Amino acid sequence: MTGRPHPRRLALISVHTSPLAQPGTGDAGGLNVYVWQTATRLARRGVEVEIFTRATSSADEPSVQAAPGVTVKHVPAGPFDGLDKRDLPAQLCAFSANVLRAEAAHEPGYYDLIHSHYWLSGQVGWLARDRWGVPLVHTAHTLAAVKNASLAVGDTAEPMLRVIGEQQVVDEADRLIVNTPTEASELVDLYGADASRVDVVVPGADLDRYSPGSKLAARGALGLDADDVLVTFVGRIQPLKAPDVLLRAIAPLIHADTTGRLRLLVVGGPSGNGLGLPDTLIGLAAELGVADRVTFLPPQPADRLAQVYRASDLVSVPSYSESFGLVAVEAQACGTPVLAADVGGLGVAVADGVTGRLVAGHDIETWTGHLADLLADPDRLRAMGTAAGIHAQKFSWDHTTDALLESYDRAVAAHRRAAGRSTGIFGLRRLRPRTRITV
């Protein structure tokens, strides 16, 4: 750590999803977990955190003291219901205005730094940064150009509006935070980011909550059969997360299973392009003739989700794109091996051949083969589970917070150095040169 004092008050912007929302449905997912876990740990280090997120219910209190040192501010912007991420660009003006009004109620210099999450928040953070005269740190979480390069069948490409918006934020942010070195390279190669302004900060897991435990006790708590062989999917039900790939891959193994013990557990709710067809996966299970061996559960609170991981013999993350893959780390922290697509940050999260296996591509027969190979050797699965619990200890939110504070220190120091030379005779901030958008 550096010897400089850390920011005393942080404005954290998460426009489209609140850290108080239940992950696994709607637009709530790993970003929610990231924001909440880092905010609470930053507060424990003495940084006061105020989180600005869009109000989605008339019952939302304008300001909620969510944890010691963490305040969630519900910002009115557009109707409460019926909006998803694709509708929110039209509400950024209203959201930004209300964020600026909130700051205007305080003395100048109230916030020391802004950290925006996802490109919508980056647009707001960019404006607030210039108005407040403080540095902007931005985490994209996902990138349109990367997602569009690996679309699932039937999925919809991210619009040019988002690509342009991401490019603007990349150009303007004082520092950019990414999850892995691969993501850093993507920012530089696809968006022309200045590599010297990019910090790799690996996400973590709540290792106090997600830890190895009794499989039998977990199954008893969830009402699952002690003798079943259980493969589990956890995540939002949408083409990007590819639960259909896992379902199609395991179906032949279920049909071939003469013991009747092999089951698939799907935990999550519809999201994104899956919102219009919430029962598609249930229908697919029936079409494949395995509906009686597939159990669907809604998104689970964290303590119960830990039981889901412990109850499983194997957790699968077949996504087409993942900036990191928190599910993979959480499952391993509970001592469960992971079968994952070799995309994005999953190559960092999973130790291939040691804590699970990484699969290239999404060919169904290939996935079926990997499932069959792993499930045929329970002793190897148990050994992988033991190794997974050890491997996951490298990924803690405390380590993430350490790295975030170092990035914040760099942003504040650079901002102070540039304060004199970055203004002209009219006091206007000089803009960085624009880079060309790659599509």
| Residues making up the binding site | 16, 22-23, 27-32, 85, 118, 142, 162, 236, 241, 300, 309-310, 312, 322, 330, 336
CB of 229 within 8 A of CB of 262? yes
What are 29's two structure tokens? Answer: 């997912």
Which strands make up the sheet holding 63-67, listed edge to edge? 63-67, 70-75, 48-54, 9-13, 113-117, 136-139, 175-178, 198-200
Binding-site members for UDP-N-acetyl-alpha-D-glucosamine are: 22-23, 30, 236, 241, 300, 322, 330
By three-state DSSP, how is residue 438 classified? coil
Alpha carbons within 13 angstroms on the beta-carbon side of residue 301 total: 2
339-366 burial, b for 16+ CB within 10 Å, e for fewer? bbbebbbbbbbbbeeebbbbbeebebee
By three-state DSSP, how is residue 424 classified? coil
| Residues 6+ positions from 7 with CB-CB distance below 8 Å | 47, 112, 113, 408, 412
Residue type, 379: D
How open is the CA angle 305-270-313, to the nearest 5 degrees?
35
Binding-site members for 1D-myo-inositol 3-phosphate are: 16, 27-32, 85, 118, 142, 162
Most distant pair of Cα atoms in the chain: their distance: 80
How open is the CA angle 351-395-382, to the nearest 5 degrees?
45
Could you tell me how many helices (H) and strands (E) the chain has, helices first?
15, 14
Q: At what angle do helices 326-333 and 378-391 cross, to 10 degrees?
A: 110
For residue 62, what are the CA distances in angstroms to 39, 57, 195?
18, 11, 38
Gyration radius of the chain's alpha carbons:
22
- The whole-angstrom separation of Cα 212 and Cα 209 is 10
Binding-site members for Mg(2+) are: 309-310, 312, 336
Element (H, E) at 346: helix 346-349
